[in-house]
A and B are shown apart, each in its own frame.
Chain A
Amino acid sequence: MKIDNTLPLEYSTEQNRMNVLGFWIFLGAEVMLFATLFATYFTLAHRTGNGPSGAEIFEIAPVLIETFLLLTSSFTIGLGVHAMRLGRKNAMIAFFAVTLLLGLAFLGVEIYEFTHYVHIGAGLQTSAFTAILLTTLGTHGAHVTLGLFWGLFIILQVKKRGLTPETANKSFIFSLYWHFLDVVWIFIFSFVYLKGMM
């Protein structure tokens, strides 16, 4: 492997550059995935059958907490990547760990939110609206869950192997993934919750 030292570590080999491009392309496909979910959501948002509508079940408090947690985690992972570029391994691990903790807290609130919906009679089978609501949120939540494990593995690898072109590349790609989830959440926040509550 030829290592090009003029570039940041995560871009330093040919394979690394391909990995980053490949991951951007993957994110393009993910955009389509969530776009389809959103389109379906907008189509079904008013088809509530005998179930409740969005305005009846949405609560602002947990949603704001979730938004705050996820936005902050996006910031901390940015700091983590910055630390990585400076070669400060421990600072980077610390920021990544904070990110994952925030993500975990987000997931906790989301699980609370889900049980709440089911509790008040807005379960998966209630109506087309509740089904697509829970599916959209659930798809995002599943992405966050996967991200938690992935991030954990990366922390372990950086700890053990240090900052190599390989681990730096993985960490950087993970940060792209995490920012992407944040962007999706902003859309969910604006077009599912805010629009639904208005």
Chain B
Amino acid sequence: MKTKLAFYSLVISIFAVLAGCEPVMVLDPKGPQAETTANVIWISIATMAFVVVVVFGMMAYIVFKYRASRQSPDYEPPHIEGNHLVESIIVGIPVLIIIFLSIVTVKSTYEVEATPKGYEDQKPLIVYASSSDWKWHFSYPEENIETVNYLYIPTDRPIEFRLYSYGPITSFWIPQLGGQKYAMSDMVTKLHLAATVPGEYMGRNANFSGKGFAENIFEVKAMPESEFDKWVEDVKSTAAPLSEEKFKELLEPGHLGQMTFSGTHLKFLPPPEGEHGGHNH
């Protein structure tokens, strides 16, 4: 057993060092939503570490102390049915832990499902993000532009993503800005994010969607609002318009590089929202 414990502590310390050098994406948040989840994760790790320490400690002690080889050969283990006090403790403490974590969960779940904290009074930027095999289409209806496989967003402004899919269920995920949400073919789901730090982030489809799944990624660039507005103007004046035929062509299964269009596909192919979309049960 000693070798095993030694082994565990070795592994854990190795990873602690690794994690210390370069924080893992989910725990390196760049926006309020990701920060909330990162905090929840740290709280849960700390709580669970307590459980792990208690169980490991108890086990190490018991296994060491009651080995047959340490006992006299005529030792006869007693018959013990149980003990109400002990059983209340092993029920009671987990119940308290679960109640604590439930409160944390409910509070944070409501938080990350709503407009990010501190941004409630700002008008959100609406971006329709739709997936097709194996690409992401980003439509900015108010700006009237559309991109493929890359996403530019302004910092310090709430962004409301409206997600749907032209094929298998996909999952929209930008780890450093917030958690995932599914994009499905017959309804539109909403995801509220915001970025506080300018920079480039990884975004991807996290839900297996067939052959091209591994490469189903997109680049996210967060920039100050002024820079973002300039980019929008640039696109409007330089990018080719998106026609219905062109969009149908884009939907064909395969991989495309990054593309930019003026106009969006929302006009000729409306998303499955409103009366005819959504849960119909």
Contacts and interface: CB of A to CB of B under 8 A. Distances in A.
Do A and B contact each other directly (Cβ–Cβ < 8 Å)?
Answer: yes
Nearest to A42: B281
Interface string A41-54: 01111110000000
Interface string A23-45: 00000000000000000001111
Interface in B259-274: none
Contacts of A45: 281
8 contacts: A42-B281, A43-B281, A44-B281, A45-B281, A46-B280, A46-B281, A47-B280, A47-B281
Nearest to A43: B281
A157 to B, nearest CB: 47
Nearest to A44: B281
Contacts of A44: 281
B56 to A, nearest CB: 41
Interface residues of A, number: 6
Contacts of B280: 46-47
Nearest to B186: A47
A43 B281 CA distance: 5
A42 B279 CA distance: 13
Contacts of B281: 42-47
Nearest to B281: A43
A46 B275 CA distance: 13
A45 B280 CA distance: 9
A47 B276 CA distance: 10
B63 to A, nearest CB: 42
Listed from nearest, the 8 A-B pairs whose CB atoms lie closest are A43-B281, A46-B280, A47-B280, A46-B281, A42-B281, A44-B281, A47-B281, A45-B281
Contacts of A42: 281
Interface string A79-103: 0000000000000000000000000
A46 B280 CA distance: 7
B184 to A, nearest CB: 14
A11 to B, nearest CB: 38
B13 to A, nearest CB: 49
A47 B281 CA distance: 8
A47 B280 CA distance: 7
A42 B281 CA distance: 7
Given A42-B281, A45-B281, A46-B280, 5 more contacts: A43-B281, A44-B281, A46-B281, A47-B280, A47-B281
B118 to A, nearest CB: 39
Contacts of A46: 280-281
A83 B280 CA distance: 51
B22 to A, nearest CB: 46
Interface in A141-179: none
Nearest to B279: A43
Interface string B84-114: 0000000000000000000000000000000
Interface in B238-281: 280-281
A184 B280 CA distance: 26
B48 to A, nearest CB: 35
A131 to B, nearest CB: 15
Nearest to A47: B280
A46 B276 CA distance: 11
A45 B281 CA distance: 8
Nearest to A45: B281
Interface in A4-21: none
A27 B4 CA distance: 50
B54 to A, nearest CB: 39
B278 to A, nearest CB: 11
A42 B280 CA distance: 10
